[in-house]
């Protein structure tokens, strides 16, 4: 797992209070990890903070799985 | 009870009679306050009156969208966070409905409703992160009862009530409460100028037989901003001497 993936996983585990084993690449925040729509907004905020990037609303909407987040951040974080 | 020590509050319209009373009361309860208003000198005077400690001045024109967007980040930077947002600023552009101009309508909606939306949207971000927040929107009895000549004002104030409930439902799980206070006739420089007949006409509609004071509205604000009101959300608290009961 890449460094970015590790950090994403840590945020997701902390924020949603889910088992680390469940936070796999294909896991959907809402369907698989029990997030509600407010949680997804907060996750995006947490990613922005951790990786010091701005995630615009239209990009945020495409981030639905752990893998989506990792991919976006690998491409966009410094 | 109602101790606000360590809390950070932003009050819009702080140079008005009501906003000033609310800012003073928050400050008295121990909060750090950021004062927003259009008149810098009046804000500075209030800040000085509060002793200059735990007080910040943020002159803002709430009709200017960019200025509104900048206000919450500036207040958060100045105070190191934001726990309490009081959307108090309001203007009137009274006219009979059939004569009301678009710009009279737009100006009132912009300051009384849209600015409250933008400030709440900005404030809730940090409040969600901190898992605590209080938003108090200052409405009006007119938002519930209507008032001839105030179609724009009544619409904006009623709009605040709906906005309050929608946002309250969205953020309740994050320990953020969103409530509304609906004052009736409150003594102010404006009501001081009423003649005896106008005054009697108003008081005839108030079972309590007197005008309310800014301090009485401020006390309601303190309650809703406090830890004690943690389970009260989406509510509209009427402070009107009984002139309309719900």
Q: Can you give the CATH number for the domain in which A49 is found?
A: 1.10.1200.10
Please give the pLDDT value at position B103. 97
pLDDT band at A2 (very low <50, low <70, confident <90, very high): confident
Task: Quote the tokens at residue B48.
Answer: 């000085």
Q: What are B155-192's pLDDT values in tens digits? A: 999 999 999 999 999 999 999 999 999 999 999 877 78
pTM for the whole structure: 0.92
pLDDT value at residue B198: 86
A26 has a pLDDT exceeding 90:
yes
CA distance to partner chain A, nearest, from residue B192 (Å): 47
Q: What is the pLDDT of residue B190?
A: 72
B8-236: what fold? Rossmann fold (3.40.50)
pLDDT one-digit tens code per residue, B32-59: 999 999 999 999 999 999 998 999 999 9
Q: What is the largest CA-CA distance in chain A?
A: 30
Catalytic residues of B: 153
Q: How far is the C-alpha of B18 from the C-alpha of B4, rounded, in Å?
A: 19
What is the distance between the alpha carbons of residues B217 and B182, in angstroms, rounded to a whole number?
9
Q: What is the DSSP string of B126-185?
A: HHHHHT-EEEEEE--THHHH--TTBHHHHHHHHHHHHHHHHHHHHHGGGTEEEEEEEE-S
DSSP A44-68: HHHHHHHHT----HHHHHH--BHHH
Binary contact (A38, B170; C-beta < 8 A): yes
- Angle (CA) A46 A15 A44, round 5°: 30
Would an 8 Å CB–CB cutoff place B171 in contact with chain A? Answer: yes
> pLDDT tens-digit profile of A42-76?
999 999 999 999 999 899 999 999 999 999 999 98
pLDDT per residue over B204-235, tens digit each?
999 999 999 999 999 999 999 999 999 999 99
Q: With pLDDT > 90 as the criterion, what percentage of chain A qualifies?
A: 90
Which pLDDT value is given to residue A9? 95
| The pLDDT value given to residue B88 | 97
B88 marked as binding residue: yes
Q: How far is B238 from chain A (nearest CA, A)?
A: 30
Query: What residues have CB less than 8 Å from B178, skipping those under 6 apart?
Result: B120, B135, B137, B164, B165, B167, B168, B171, B233, B234
Of A31, A36, A57, A58, the active-site residue reads A36
Average pLDDT of span B196-210: 92
pLDDT at A1 over 80: no
Q: Is 90 exceeded by the pLDDT of residue A78? A: no
- Buried/exposed code over B183-222 (b: 16+ C-beta within 10 A; e: otherwise): bbbbebeeeeeeeeeeeeeebeebeeeebbbbebbbebbb
Domain ranges in chain B? 8-236
Q: Beta strands B84-87 and B55-59: pairing type? A: unpaired
Mean pLDDT across B80-108:
97
Q: CB of B181 within 8 A of CB of B237?
A: yes
B64-75 residue pLDDT tens: 999 999 999 999
- The answer to whether the Cβ–Cβ distance between A42 and B173 falls below 8 Å is no
Answer yes or no: are the C-beta atoms of B209 and B112 closer than 8 Å.
Answer: no
Amino acid B156: pLDDT: 98
Query: Does residue B222 have a known ligand-binding role?
Result: no
Number of domains in chain A: 1
Residue B91 has pLDDT above 70, yes or no: yes
Is residue B199 very low, low, confident or very high in pLDDT (cuts 50, 70, 90)?
A: confident
Range of the domain at A45: 1-77
pLDDT at B138: 98
pLDDT mean over A9-24? 94
Q: What is the DSSP letter of B95?
A: B
B window 113-152, beta carbon within 8 A of A: 125, 128-129
Q: How many helices (H) and strands (E) does chain B have?
A: 10, 7
């Amino acid at each position: 797992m890449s460094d970015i993936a590790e950090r994403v996983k840590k945020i997701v585990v902390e924020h949603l209070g889910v088992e680390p084993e469940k936070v796999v690449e294909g896991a959907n925040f809402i369907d698989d990890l029990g997030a509600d729509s407010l949680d997804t907004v907060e996750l995006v905020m947490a990613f922005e903070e951790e990786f010091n990037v701005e995630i615009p609303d239209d990009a945020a909407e495409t981030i639905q799985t752990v893998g989506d987040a990792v991919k976006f951040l690998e491409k966009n974080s410094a | 009870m109602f101790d606000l020590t360590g809390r950070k509050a932003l009050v819009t319209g702080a140079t008005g009679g009501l906003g000033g009373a609310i800012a003073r009361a928050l400050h008295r309860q121990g909060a750090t306050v950021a004062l927003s208003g259009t008149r810098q000198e009046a804000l500075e005077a209030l800040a000085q009156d509060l002793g200059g400690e735990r007080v910040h001045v943020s002159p803002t024109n709430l009709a200017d969208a960019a200025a509104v967007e900048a206000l919450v980040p500036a207040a958060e930077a100045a105070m190191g966070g934001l726990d309490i947002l009081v959307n108090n600023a309001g203007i009137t552009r009274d006219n009979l409905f059939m004569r009301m101009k678009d710009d009279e309508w737009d100006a009132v909606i912009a300051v009384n409703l849209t600015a409250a939306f933008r400030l709440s949207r900005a404030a809730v971000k940090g409040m969600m992160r901190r898992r605590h927040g209080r938003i108090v929107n200052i409405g009006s009895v007119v938002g519930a009862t209507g008032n001839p000549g105030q179609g724009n004002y009544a619409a904006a104030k009623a709009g605040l009530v709906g906005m309050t409930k929608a946002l309250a439902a969205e953020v309740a799980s994050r320990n953020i409460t969103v409530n509304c206070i609906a004052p009736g006739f409150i003594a102010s420089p404006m009501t001081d100028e009423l003649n005896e007949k106008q005054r009697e006409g108003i008081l005839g509609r108030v079972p309590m037989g007197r005008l309310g004071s800014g301090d009485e509205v401020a006390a309601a604000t303190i309650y809703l901003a406090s830890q004690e009101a943690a389970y009260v959300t989406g509510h509209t608290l009427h402070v009107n001497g009984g002139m309309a009961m719900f």
